[in-house]
Amino acid sequence: MKDNFIQVADITDIDLNQSVSVEVGGKAILICNTENGVFAVEDRCTHTDIPLCGGQIVGNLISCPVHGAVFDLSDGSVQAPPAFEDLETFEVKIEDTSISVKYLK
């Protein structure tokens, strides 16, 4: 397996505390612009496999828009139920305003 970074978005296109969903290698990844930096997590709430896109972001935390589970975007950890499984996270690289995520090929 080889590590790769792929350019997925531009920081100027994502307002603070907003997110965009991108697809990398057939997987939906949520790119989140927070006051603590840019984070990338799988765009799939582990509660019932519904996209997290559109969830409210406060600091490092995102709330699922469906039932309100809360995840820490910095490490994917669950912070509040009804989800119990952590999110997959992806390493982010920023060059100028360009955002890339690391994925395995």
Q: Contact positions toward ligand FES, by CB under 6 A?
A: 45, 47-48, 50, 64, 66-69, 82-83
Residue 50 C-beta: closest distance to ligand FES, Å: 4
Q: Is the peptide bond before 65 cis (omega within 30 degrees of 0)?
A: no
Residue 59 C-beta: closest distance to ligand FES, Å: 19
Nearest Cα neighbor of 66 from 45, 41, 86 is 45
Residue among 6 and 50 whose Cβ is closer to ligand FES: 50
Residue among 24 and 66 whose Cβ is closer to ligand FES: 66
* Burial of residue 86, with CB atoms counted within 10 A of its CB: 0-12 exposed, 13-18 middle, 19 or more buried: middle
